[in-house]
């Protein structure tokens, strides 16, 4: 397999004001403000929004472009406390560049019941086209000025669906920001 030249990969253009915001989000995950916080909630609802880079290609060409804006509302239920393990699921939508609706579900692991969280799951889009595949995420939950926030780096590999050219896989890496609201 020969390496891709710069001319063969479309360059991702981001507005100048997006780069400092992305750096601030990464720092917020790296240096949480509530490292010694109480246990995560047993039941939580988390509206979330994400944007990142879509990776794909076909006919020997690779491409990278801004991903669609994603929006979802997760319901997360913790079923084990040592280590903290929860299941999550909810609706998932793509907005702006594309319009679609689907669902996302999986498991989330929080080492030592702390701020960090690791997720493993799947995403499926079922209207107006189909795509599905596994997801993986790493991030954290913390409070900024008393407001609960979560920031995750989330990756998805779409391996099946009628929106994929034959024999290809599309990927997406994005920063997802949410507001986890404790129910119980």
pLDDT of residue 12: 45
C-alpha to C-alpha distance for 130 and 113, rounded to whole angstroms: 36
**pLDDT for 94-140, tens place per residue?**
998 889 999 999 999 998 767 899 999 999 999 999 999 999 999 99
Task: Print burial letters for 94-132: b (CB count within 10 Å at least 16), e (below 16).
Answer: beeeeebebbbbbebebeeebbbbebebebbbeeeebbb
**pLDDT for 146-159, tens place per residue?**
999 999 999 999 99
Q: Give the CATH number of the domain where residue 50 resides.
A: 2.40.160.20
Count structural domains, the chain. 1
The whole-model pTM stands at 0.79
Does residue 115 lie within any of the structural domains? yes
pLDDT of residue 56: 85
Does residue 78 lie within any of the structural domains? yes
Domain that holds residue 78: 40-182
| Beta-bridge mates of residue 177 | 49, 151
Does residue 107 lie within any of the structural domains? yes
Does residue 148 lie within any of the structural domains? yes
Does residue 23 lie within any of the structural domains? no
């Amino acid at each position: 397999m020969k390496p891709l030249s710069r001319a063969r990969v479309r360059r991702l253009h981001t507005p100048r004001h997006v780069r400092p915001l992305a750096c601030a989000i990464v720092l917020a995950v790296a240096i949480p403000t509530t490292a010694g916080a109480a246990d995560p909630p047993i039941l939580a609802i988390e509206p979330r929004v994400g944007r990142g880079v879509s990776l794909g290609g076909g006919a020997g060409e690779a491409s990278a472009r801004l991903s669609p804006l994603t929006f979802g509302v997760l319901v997360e239920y913790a079923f084990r406390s040592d280590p903290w393990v929860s299941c999550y699921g909810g609706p998932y939508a793509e907005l702006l560049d594309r319009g679609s609706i689907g669902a996302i579900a999986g498991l989330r692991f929080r080492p030592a019941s702390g701020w960090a969280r690791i997720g493993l799951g799947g995403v499926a889009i079922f209207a107006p086209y189909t795509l599905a595949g596994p997801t993986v995420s790493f991030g954290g939950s913390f409070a900024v000025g008393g407001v609960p926030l979560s920031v995750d780096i989330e990756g998805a590999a779409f391996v099946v669906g009628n929106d994929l050219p034959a024999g290809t896989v599309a990927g997406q890496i994005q920063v997802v920001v949410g507001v986890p609201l404790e129910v119980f």
